[in-house]
Amino acid sequence: MTKKVFIVFLLVLSLSLTSFIPVVAQSEPREGGTLNFPAPYQGSITSLDPAFSNRNQSTLVFRTIFDTLVEIDPTSLEIEPGVAKSWDVSKDGLTYTFHLREGVKFHNGSEVTASDVKYTFERLVDPDVASVAPDLFKFVEGSEAFTNGEADEVSGIEVLDDYTLEIRLTRVQPNFLYNVAGGSNYNSGIVPKEVVEEVGDNFTNNPIGCGAFEFVKWNRGSSVVVEKFDDYYGKGPYLDKIVFKVMPEAPSRVAAFKSNQLDFDIVYPAQYKQYKNNEKYDDLMVETAELWTRNVTFNMKREKLQDVRIRRAFNYALDEELIIDKVLNGKAYPASGWLPSSSPAFDPDLEPYGHNPEKARELMNEAGYSQENPLELTILGGDHPAWGTPMVETIKPFLDEVGFKIKPVLLDGATFERRVLNGDFEAFIWSNGGEITSLNYMKVFWSEVPRQAGNFSGYSNPEFDKLIEQAMKETNFAERKKLIQKADKMIKEDAPVWFFNYNKAVGIHQPWVHGVKAVPQDMVYQPLSEVWVDEDSPRS
């Protein structure tokens, strides 16, 4: 071998060996950088005081500025420590004792104490404050007297010392810790008593909490800027700054994301297929079943819909998987029951109805209907393509084949709401849910819930009620879960609705962004204190 050939051989060997050296991606969280994050829903950010807004636009900002006594894990939806490092619950389930971490700081440097927590909770139920959450702690001892102006404080919220708070309930509340965590879009983030009493209504212009980020600037109608709080007690934050951009129009967000002006976005069906079919973006999406169940609700007070065979036939007639694939571009999950698969009490063994037109025809024949003698059914809806009258038009051919004669009726929002709440319908199509706790999600079928409060079908079953009432008294989560799963199975069998799908919530992030999670409550509620960016981020 000549010297020249040998050198070439070594060069080729070197290159070939190099190709087998793995490229190590940056995997450890890095501090620094700015995240441009959308506030993607309709309307602007209306308040930065957690007592005065439960809109998603404001809530996603609240979650960075204000921490709560206990927190909700964004993916499992389980309760975990927050400002309280631990808590005890009495045997009767009526007394909660919270033990606060020592040394937790507000953004102005003062220490968080149990007195601040008591003040925060009382402020939310104070009629003079007129917060968006006046009933949040209505089952706390003394809350009613305080709300009615008969007491100067809520007696059941007691400060035992600077780091210990006791809360006494008048009845067992299985979901109480979720209320403490602000689980239903009501932010119970802790505020500093002395500051709020001093500045009053001006607190919204310069909010101070004990969260991972502190407030910097609010450009009304445009953006909110928060920056890293160096004395934060919890995990992170890694980012130096977050800029929340008010961007309710999806096309504008898509353009901004593709031009690297946004680091994250939520994905709607129109964009989902485009991103999914593009190798550049496919690995940058996170997906989960959102806490919303799309369905057709039957009016159980109408005689022709009281026959369970008809309601089951409706479910058997439809091919949900085909509809999801062809019409919704795959952006949904078939429903097996009422509880979404991301709900803590979801039963993975619950079988969906499945597409079985033969079974549907058999049931309709037993009930006295056929293609020659169809059951006429009017279905009200709005204009939403995924859960409005366009979807009714899509499912109509399936139903016509088994003995239904479907008439879709498009209504404006106000008329639709009035007719549903008044029970003036045979059936309607919609998307219902939004509750974090499985018990609250199922309670919409409890007979004591009026139509105006969510039991739109007018469903009433004493056996179902027993299960819900037992679950409401059960403080052990594992036992409560079993009761809720039995209730969901009963609802599936009674079929007061057509179980269509659970919305597939989808988020997409830039390749330099890390720590994004599949959050079923709402994909924008990312744990932003745990998000970080690479050094090559455009805003590092």
| Parts of the chain belonging to CATH 3.90.76.10 | 67-210
The continuous run of DSSP H or E covering 5 comes out as helix 3-18
* Residues 67-210, CATH architecture: Alpha-Beta Complex (3.90)
- CA angle in degrees (0–180, nearest 5) for 115-117-118: 65
436 has which bridge partners? none
| pLDDT in 10s for each residue of the chain, 540 residues | 444 433 333 333 343 333 333 333 457 899 999 999 999 998 889 899 999 988 889 999 999 999 999 999 999 999 999 999 999 999 999 999 999 999 999 999 999 999 999 999 999 999 999 998 888 898 999 999 999 999 999 999 999 999 999 999 999 999 899 999 987 666 799 999 999 999 999 999 999 999 999 999 999 999 999 999 999 999 889 999 999 999 999 999 999 999 999 999 999 888 898 898 898 998 999 999 999 999 999 999 999 999 999 999 999 999 999 999 999 999 999 999 999 999 999 999 999 999 999 999 999 999 999 999 999 999 999 999 999 999 999 999 999 999 999 999 999 999 999 999 999 999 999 999 989 999 999 999 999 999 999 999 999 999 999 999 999 999 888 999 999 999 999 999 999 999 999 999 999 999 999 999 999 999 999 999 999 999 989 998
178 has which bridge partners? none
Whether pTM exceeds 0.85: yes
Pick the CATH number of 288-503 from 3.10.105.10, 1.25.40.10, 3.20.20.70, 3.30.540.10: 3.10.105.10
| Parts of the chain belonging to CATH 3.10.105.10 | 288-503
Whether the Cβ atoms of residue 112 and residue 100 lie closer than 8 Å to each other: yes
Whether the Cβ atoms of residue 417 and residue 411 lie closer than 8 Å to each other: no
Contacts for 125-134: CB closer than 8 Å, 24+ residues apart: 125/154, 129/51, 131/51, 131/52, 132/51, 132/52, 132/53, 132/54, 132/186, 133/51, 133/54, 133/186, 133/188
Residue in 250, 295, 256, 281 with CA at minimum distance from that of residue 268: 250
